[in-house]
């Protein structure tokens, strides 16, 4: 009998999947056997006459290793290299996986055993026990038979809808890629143009947000408009019905579980604590953001000599930035080659802060030839884990940037982390935003890599959405910190260090246009929360619903598009951020306040170890407010956020 490589632990270092041996045809047979094995492991837990912490909780934490291995390989590669064949497999396994998960959390006998256990007298075990009981309750363990049956149906259908939404969006994103002539690409460098070259001209793929980054660079107004309009067409035909059904089922599930709305259900587990707290964040910031955006729009129009709309605003905003600050994006790119940014910037900052080193493992293969495997070690040479980097854009990759894991750290199972950072970069010379994103995603990677907990459920990024963004966002600050940028920002042709005045201009440029940036983000947050705070009838006219929401918050600026509109809002309808898109700003309040301390005390091992010990290593094993106090020495202060965003008058 031929062995299935997904059904045995990898023999490679750190349990890195043997990508060369694994094929899509292995997935479904492995998945079916892994489901059976996990069910048998649960049955074994229930067979003990005397439930103990070891034979119940620790056995539960150890269980499902085969299923985790199959799921990690499949869902990671489905995101980075989707094909119709992957889609067909997902259609078959996603509902089964949802049903299997529900069967565990709705198992009354298992739930009762957990409730009656004697818990070890240590903080991490008590924390795990508390989270497990909440998780079982939130997944329907307290419901009667009819309620459990209905919840099972809802969860399976929601899994299908999420999968289909993401697939439709990816298909539209591919189909709507914009064909431009060389003349229409004026404003881009030769290297950028070549990145978009195809057999029959030039093809520009769409990015996930509404406003496309090239709108700031293309000189031809019609080219800018083609990009903008294509972006706004995504999901318009394929996704409306999926959205309405998803919202309706999420609301039904929330009510079934005793919550008024889906937002209440979700945010009860977040650090914000309540949907009202999240709404209040938007309400407090929206007026100043809208006023600042309107002022920026007026100035952009004055420079253009005419009124500008959403297609042209980014271009004239960039012209203003160049004129006022002396920042030329095309020239700046030459100081930011990807490999240089990564080795001498991202990894250098991590070494200063945490003493870790990151080196290529040429002997280990990623899932593609252009995926690099890096080994991360402590300063004494002890291995921490592996980092995979997958940065190149391709049509099969879903939009955006993200971090995920193939293996989670846990002392109980003896596993060390294997994580991946994914982006869609079209040029080896990075923009300011791309440099920031590389640092951001590595912040997520650090959260997984430096985890030091006993139990897998509490490991790394297995934390609330409005906490998971904190490590990534604070890591963004190091991108243009003087001590770091001077180590990596060297001209690709001459090797000359970036001039100090240009560094200052870059820092100023990151504060430039915060009205637009904040308003487009808050508009998307408002749309997300509005859908998920519904407690009755589901709107049929999505455009009218969005317009009313934006008017309510004072964000209905005709020329300003929300960062995402509903039909291409992958975060909330396919990406696990439903009722949680606000979390980036919530985390930024922590990041702005926390980084203020780093600026005062310096980028060094002292501040790094303080952050590592309080935040990065603890995962979900500690109360988050307590963890922040341990790092900062006090409760968070939102004033640094307001100052950073130019909203200090709020």
Q: Which residues are catalytic?
A: 441
- Report how far apart, in Å, the C-alpha atoms of 271 and of each of 133, 184, 266, 277, 444 are: 18, 47, 11, 10, 18
Burial label for 298, CB within 10 Å (0-12, 13-18, 19+), is exposed
Q: How far is CA 52 from CA 48, 75, 261, in A?
A: 9, 34, 37
Q: Which two tokens stand for residue 405?
A: 């894991």
**Cβ atoms of residues 532 and 262 within 8 Å:** yes
Residue 642 is given by DSSP the state H
**Closest to 465 (Cα-Cα) out of 562, 587, 574, 619:** 587
Residue of 284, 387, 404, 319 whose CA lies nearest to 647: 284
C-alpha closest to that of 262 among 581, 573, 566, 533: 533
Asked if 54 and 119 count as a contact pair (C-beta separation under 8 A), the reply is no
Both tokens of 220, joined, read 């031809």
Secondary structure (3-state) at 396? coil
How many angstroms separate the Cα of 165 from the Cα of each of 53, 569, 573?
41, 9, 7
Three-state SS at 386: strand
SS3 state at 406: strand
Give a three-class secondary structure readout of 436-454.
HHHHHHHHHHHHHHCCCCC
Q: How far apart are CA 444 and CA 473, in angstroms?
A: 9
Nearest to 464 by CA among 579, 633, 595: 579
The H or E element containing residue 403 is: strand 402-407
Give the start-end residues of each E strand in 152-295: 178-180, 197-198, 201-204
Neighbours of 357 (CB within 10 A): 16
Residues 560 and 554: their CA atoms lie apart, in Å, by: 12
Structure-block tokens of residue 36: 């059976």
Our measurement of the distance from residue 178's CA atom to the centroid of its chain's CA atoms, rounded to an integer in Å, reads 26
Q: Which stretches of 180-274 are DSSP H helices? A: 190-195, 221-231, 240-256, 262-267
């Amino acid at each position: 009998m031929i062995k299935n490589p997904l059904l045995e632990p990898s023999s490679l270092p750190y349990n890195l999947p043997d990508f060369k041996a694994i094929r899509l045809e292995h997935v479904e047979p492995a998945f079916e056997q892994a489901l059976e094995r996990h069910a048998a492991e649960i049955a074994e837990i229930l067979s003990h006459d005397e439930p103990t912490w070891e034979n119940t909780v620790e056995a539960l934490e150890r269980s499902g290793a085969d299923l985790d291995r199959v799921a990690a390989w499949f869902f990671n590669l489905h995101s980075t290299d989707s094909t119709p064949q992957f889609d067909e497999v997902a259609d078959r396994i996603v509902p089964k996986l949802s049903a299997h998960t529900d069967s565990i959390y709705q198992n009354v006998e298992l739930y009762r055993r957990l409730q009656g256990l004697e818990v070890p007298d240590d903080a991490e075990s008590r924390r795990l026990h508390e989270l497990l009981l909440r998780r079982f309750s939130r997944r329907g363990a307290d419901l009667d038979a009819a309620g459990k049956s209905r919840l099972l149906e809802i969860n399976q259908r929601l899994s299908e809808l999420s999968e289909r939404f993401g697939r439709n969006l990816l298909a539209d994103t591919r189909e709507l890629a914009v064909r431009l002539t060389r003349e229409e690409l004026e404003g881009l460098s030769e290297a950028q143009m070549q990145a978009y070259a195809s057999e029959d001209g030039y093809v520009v793929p769409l990015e996930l947000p509404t406003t496309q980054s090239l709108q700031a660079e293309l000189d031809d107004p019609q080219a800018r408009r083609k990009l903008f309009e294509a972006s706004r067409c995504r999901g318009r035909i394929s996704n409306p019905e999926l959205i309405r059904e998803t919202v309706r089922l999420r609301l039904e599930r929330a009510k079934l579980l005793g919550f008024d709305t889906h937002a209440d259900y979700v945010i009860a587990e977040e650090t914000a604590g309540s949907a009202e707290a999240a709404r209040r964040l938007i309400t407090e910031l929206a007026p100043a953001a809208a006023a600042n955006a309107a002022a920026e729009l007026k100035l952009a129009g004055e420079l253009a000599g005419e009124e500008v709309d959403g297609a042209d605003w980014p271009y004239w905003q960039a012209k203003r930035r160049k004129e006022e600050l002396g920042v030329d994006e095309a020239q700046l790119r030459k100081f930011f080659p990807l490999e240089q940014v990564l080795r001498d910037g991202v990894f250098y900052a991590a070494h200063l802060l945490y003493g870790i080193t990151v080196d290529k493992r040429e002997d280990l293969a990623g899932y593609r030839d252009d995926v690099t495997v890096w080994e991360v070690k402590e300063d004494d040479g002890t291995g921490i884990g592996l980092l995979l980097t997958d940065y190149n854009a391709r049509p099969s990759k879903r939009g955006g940037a993200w971090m995920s894991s193939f293996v989670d750290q846990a002392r109980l199972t003896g596993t060390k982390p294997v994580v991946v950072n994914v982006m869609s970069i079209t040029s080896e010379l990075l923009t300011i935003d791309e440099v920031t994103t590389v640092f951001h995603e590595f912040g997520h990677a650090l959260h997984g890599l430096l985890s030091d907990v006993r139990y897998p459920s509490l490991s790394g990024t297995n934390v609330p959405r409005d906490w998971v963004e904190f490590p990534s966002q604070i890591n963004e600050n190091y991108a243009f910190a003087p001590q770091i940028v001077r180590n990596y920002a060297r001209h690709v042709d001459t090797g000359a260090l970036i001039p100090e005045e240009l560094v200052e201009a870059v820092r100023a440029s990151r504060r430039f246009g915060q009205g637009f940036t904040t308003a487009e983000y808050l508009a998307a947050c408002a749309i997300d929360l509005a859908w998920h705070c519904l407690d009755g009838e589901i709107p049929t006219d999505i455009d009218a619903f969005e317009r009313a929401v934006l008017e309510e918050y004072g964000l209905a600026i005709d020329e300003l598009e929300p960062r995402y509109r509903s039909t291409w809002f992958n975060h909330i309808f396919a990406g696990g951020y439903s009722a949680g898109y606000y979390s980036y700003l919530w985390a930024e309040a922590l990041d702005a306040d926390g980084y203020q301390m780093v600026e005062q005390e310096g980028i060094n091992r002292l501040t790094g170890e303080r952050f590592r010990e309080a935040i990065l290593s603890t995962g979900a094993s500690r109360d988050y407010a307590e963890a922040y106090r341990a790092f900062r020495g006090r409760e968070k202060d939102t004033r640094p956020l307001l100052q950073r965003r130019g909203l200090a008058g709020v």
